[in-house]
Amino acid sequence: MFLDDVYGKPGHLIRRAQQIAVAIFVEECRHLDLTPVQYAVLVATRDAPGIDATRLSEVIAYDRSTLGSVLDRVEEKGWVERRPSPGDRRVKQLFLTEAGAGLLAAAEPHVRRAQERIVQPLAEPQRQELMRLLGALVELNNEHSRVPLKRAL
C-alpha cells in the first residue's frame, strides 16, 4: 500500500502522536496563549525558583539554543522574571511572577483535559500500558536525545 514504508515505522507514529498531542494542548490552552514548552518552563520555574537556563534546558529536555526564544516570550508576557545570579552576574536566574503563577493555576484544568483527550480513544488498561511503554522507550533511549533529560532538580 501507498507509503507503508513510512506509516508503519515507530518514528513516524511517534512524530504523528506528538503532532496530535501538541494540537490538542494548543486547542485546550488557546485562550491562555500558552504552548506546551512554555507550560514546561513555567512549571519548572515554579518548582525550582532561581533555576538558570542551562539547568532548565536539562530538566525539560529542550534545546538550549531554542529555549532562549521561549524564555524571551514568557518574559515578554510577564510570566517569568530573569535576575542576575548573586554568585555570577553573567548567569540569569528565572523566577515565576504573580502573573505566571496565576496563569499556571488557570491552565491546570485545561492541561489536564488536554492530557485526558490525548489518550481518550484508549480503554483504561491500554492507557496504562501506553504510558508504561512510552516511559520505558524514552528512558531507555534518553542518551540518544540531542538534549538528554536530567530529572533531579
CATH of 4-121, one of 1.20.1250.20, 1.10.3720.10, 1.10.10.10, 3.40.50.720: 1.10.10.10
For 32-61, the pLDDT digits (tens) are 999 999 999 999 999 999 999 999 999 999
CA–CA dist 17, 122 (Å, integer): 14
Given pLDDT bands bounded at 50, 70 and 90, which one contains residue 1? low
Average predicted confidence (pLDDT) for the chain: 93
Q: What percent of the chain has pLDDT over 70?
A: 97
For 25-36, the pLDDT digits (tens) are 999 999 999 999
For 60-69, the pLDDT digits (tens) are 999 988 999 9
What's the average model confidence in pLDDT over 146-152? 80
pLDDT at position 84 over 60: yes
* pTM of the predicted model as reported, rounded to 2 decimal places: 0.90
pLDDT at position 153 over 60: no
Buried b (16+ CB within 10 A) or exposed e, 75-90: beeebbbeeeeeeeee
Helix (H, G, I), strand (E, B), or coil: what is residue 147? Answer: coil
Question: What is each CA distance from 105 to 33, 36, 68, 86, in whole angstroms?
Answer: 14, 15, 24, 29
